[in-house]
Amino acid sequence: MLTRETPVFIEGPCGPLQALSLDVPEARGVALICHPNPVQGGTMLNKVVSTLQRTARDAGLATLRFNYRGVGSSAGSHDMANGEVDDAEAVAHWLRAHYPQLPLTLLGFSFGGFVAASLVGRLESQGIEPSQLIMVAPAVQRLTAENPPAQRCPLVVIQPEDDEVIDPQAVYAWSAGLGRAHELLKVAECGHFFHGRLTDLKDLLLPRL
């Protein structure tokens, strides 16, 4: 299996977005992965994002991860709201143009969970139905009426119980209030960045992709 990602630039709302693409032979789907908070140093090379990418690859999915505006070599500056969702939307449409027959899976870590969930909500409003949304330690407090999350897409939420960045209780309360079927996985004795637990994260993800 090919493992080396190809650097690409995708035209975004503020200019080119830096990305890494992996084209898997006979891929059965494509995964778009959204990284954590850029203001706190989050990039597409974050170790949790890298784990999500490798796991999606091992599940037989083509993958793409990218830097939001103002991160790495991506044009523009941080918005920390709709702007990053706009970036992700541009990338999603690029993926759909390149893989028109493949189902699209969205994965997001921390702030990227907010971005991925908001993007799926937008795509659903456009009549596009992603196959799955996976949110890891998601920044659910950012999900508002302005950025409604996915309503129909199958959803998995993975939340570390000892998260020092995202309040686990806020995630559990958000999950309980969704009012639709989804899977909530709590990871005991685990912090936000899955230090020493990335293998456990992969083991949770792989059978669900």
- Domains of the chain in start order, with CATH, are 6-208 (3.40.50.1820)
Based on its alpha-carbon atoms, the radius of gyration of the chain, rounded to whole angstroms, reads 15
DSSP string, 173-202: HHHHTS-S--EEEEETT--TT-TTTHHHHH
Question: At 17, which helix (H) or strand (E)?
Answer: strand 15-22
165 close to 137: Cβ distance less than 8 angstroms:
yes
Q: What is the mean pLDDT of residues 138-163?
A: 89
1 close to 34: Cβ distance less than 8 angstroms:
no
45 close to 7: Cβ distance less than 8 angstroms:
no
- Residue 1 pLDDT grade (very low, low, confident, very high; cuts 50, 70, 90): low
Residue 111 tokens read as 């702030």
Q: Over the stretch 62-113, which tens digit does the pLDDT of each residue have?
A: 999 999 999 999 999 998 789 999 999 999 999 999 999 999 999 999 999 9
Share the mean pLDDT of the chain.
95
Is pTM beyond 0.85? Reply is yes
CA dihedral 193, 197, 63, 126 (to 10 degrees): -60
Q: Over the stretch 16-44, which tens digit does the pLDDT of each residue have?
A: 999 999 999 899 999 999 999 999 999 99
78 close to 68: Cβ distance less than 8 angstroms:
yes
Q: Over the stretch 171-191, which tens digit does the pLDDT of each residue have?
A: 999 999 998 899 999 999 999
- Residue 2 pLDDT grade (very low, low, confident, very high; cuts 50, 70, 90): low
